Amino acid sequence: MTTIKRIAAGTDLSWYAGRAEVRAAMLAREMGGAELDLVHVIGSLALESLRHLLTQSPEQTERRLIDTAREQLTKLTCELADKHHIPVMPVIEIGHAHEEIVRHAEAIGAGLVVLGAHGGSFVRKLFLGSTAERSLRKLSCPVLIVRREPRGPYRNVLVPVDFSEPSRRAVQMALRIAPQADITLLHVFEVPFEGNLHFAGVSDENIRSYRILAREQANSAMRQFVFELESDDDRVSHTVEFGNAPGVIREKAETIAPDLIVMGKHGQSEWEDMLFGSVTKHVLSEAGCDVLVVSL
């Protein structure tokens, strides 16, 4: 992976967005002074509705709103630049939030996009269809979804892996974005069609032997995966668990309490790709910590 020289962070200037703003600034500093673009998008549909509501001087009112947002954003960028000693650029766009964030990130060649998870709970109905989820679908660079208030560098990172290329890139990104953290690699395995084996009359003893074999294969694949990472970093540990991937990942997160989960955007199967990575989507919906999604 190339060095991250430019970070784009979306903000709606709300209190919740402040978590993403601060985390983006902290990462820019930790990465050796990467440039940070703070992107605020003024909704074009909202402006259009305002024009229809106002009977007097709609253009003047619209200009005041844009100027006020620009003043707020400029003040914010100055504060972040002074505190974190990094270059910060204020960017005002008009349009649909996810489209403008994606367009700007691609235009500047951003190596990372940082977005906030708004609201008190990060559940599916709030995430699906949100600016963050729509941006994730379109962006090819890593995307960090920030939920927690930053209190320092990441210290404990969980990386679920399926040994695919996105998983390899996820581990590399975890090592880069969290240089002071303990990193746990987790692979979750199942016996293919185990439920159907019961109905087909396969004995419990045989199914247990299949599980043992599947675990041995998973452990072997994990060792090979770690070897091919060509990293002798002693911060990295790994484990293999049996079960349904979303549930096991959730339980592991409850056990080790990571402050960041890093995942590949897609899994190994075509069906995973069609679902935008169903396991990734579950983690994004249910995680109680920040989540970094890495694409190919």
Tell me how many helices (H) and strands (E) the chain has: 12, 10
Using CA of residue 23, residue 75, residue 133, residue 273, what is the dihedral sign?
negative
Three-state DSSP state, 40: strand
How much is the pLDDT for 274? 38
Q: Looking at residue 128, what is its pLDDT?
A: 43
Q: Where in the chain is the domain with CATH 3.40.50.620?
A: 1-152, 153-296
Tally Cβ neighbours within 10 Å of residue 171: 24
Two tokens, residue 238 = 């790994």
**CATH superfamily membership of 1-152:** HUPs (3.40.50.620)
Q: What local confidence, expressed as pLDDT, does residue 177 receive? A: 93
Q: Is the dihedral of CA 213, 214, 215, 218 positive or negative?
A: positive
How far is C-alpha 228 from the geometric centre of its chain's CA atoms?
A: 24
pLDDT at 171: 94
Query: What integer pLDDT is reported at residue 204 of this predicted model?
Result: 66
What is the spatial distance between Cα 69 and Cα 231, in angstroms, rounded to a whole number? 45
Q: What is the pLDDT of residue 140?
A: 87
Residue 95's pLDDT is 87
Residue 217: the pLDDT is 93
Assigned token pair, 150? 């930053």
Q: Which residues make Cβ contacts (< 8 Å) with residue 229, sequence separation at least 6?
A: 168, 171, 172, 236
Q: What pLDDT is attached to residue 192? A: 64
Predicted pLDDT at 22: 97
In this prediction, residue 124 carries a pLDDT of 41
Give the span between the Cα atoms of 226 and 173, in whole angstroms.
14
pLDDT of residue 250: 92
Q: Which residues of the chain have pLDDT under 70?
A: 1-2, 44-58, 118-129, 192-204, 207, 266-277, 296
State which fold the 153-296 domain adopts: Rossmann fold (3.40.50)
What's the DSSP call for residue 158?
Answer: E
